[in-house]
Amino acid sequence: MFNNGCARSGLIVLPCGAAKIFILCNSNVSVQQWKQQFKIWSTANDSNVQLFISSEKAKLNDSCIWISAYPMIARIEHCNDNITHAIKSLKDRAHTKLDLTTTLVREDDKIVDLNFLIGPKLYEANWMELQNLGHIAKVQCGKVWCPMTPEFFQESVSIKNDQHRRLLLCIMNPNKFRACEFLIHYHE
């Protein structure tokens, strides 16, 4: 991120569990969705997930996940003094855009937009090294091949010009769902 005494905007790729805690979204709807996902998929309690949106302006605390929207951070003239001070403090220290992500893979191919919106990949952590040092859980990797059900395969073959629909058939393959169910129960 720092090169020749200057900060550069860009992406830093860290594996799951590597403590990425400040999330900026495009809209308040996305902020609420992120909070819901933290409730579903993490052990963080409500007091640890702080929102900073027009209807809910939480105070920053030392150990929290802070979620806000770009427009909220950009527009501070309508905030009270405490919030204005917190945002100005963040802005004064922030001279670059940094995206902390777990993976540079997305099914909708929008990952290429990050290069334009944020900047190039600057660093990618070696997850094996983090695992060996005990910073993240041990990772088990494997490849599971899921043949399409005959009905899904037949429909996929019959589609000629709709790549999006073919992709959806692959994604929604019932055999993939069954394999995921098995893996979830196996690891519980």
Q: Which residues pair with 111 in a beta bridge?
A: none
Q: What is the pLDDT of residue 174?
A: 95
Q: What is the pLDDT of residue 105?
A: 65
Shared-domain flag, residues 21 and 67: yes
Shared-domain flag, residues 14 and 96: yes
The alpha helices in 42-173, defined as continuous H runs, are: 70-74, 81-93, 111-117, 127-132, 150-158, 163-171
Shared-domain flag, residues 48 and 116: yes
Shared-domain flag, residues 97 and 28: yes
The domain containing residue 73 runs over which residues? 2-132
Of 86, 102, 132, the domain-final residue: 132
Shared-domain flag, residues 104 and 165: no
Is residue 144 a part of any domain in this protein?
no
Residue from 57, 109, 118, 49 nearest 83 by CA:
57
Mean pLDDT, all residues of the chain: 76
Q: What is the pTM of this model?
A: 0.41
E-strand ranges in 14-64 read 22-25, 49-53, 56-57
Q: Which amino acid is at 6?
A: C
Task: Specify the 3-state DSSP secondary structure of 98.
Answer: strand
Count of CB atoms within 10 A of residue 176's CB? 18
Is residue 137 a part of any domain in this protein?
no
Tens-place pLDDT, residues 97-151? 556 666 666 667 776 776 766 777 777 778 788 888 887 778 777 889 999 999 9
Query: For the chain, what is the domain count?
Result: 2
CA dihedral sign, ordered 15, 16, 21, 26:
positive
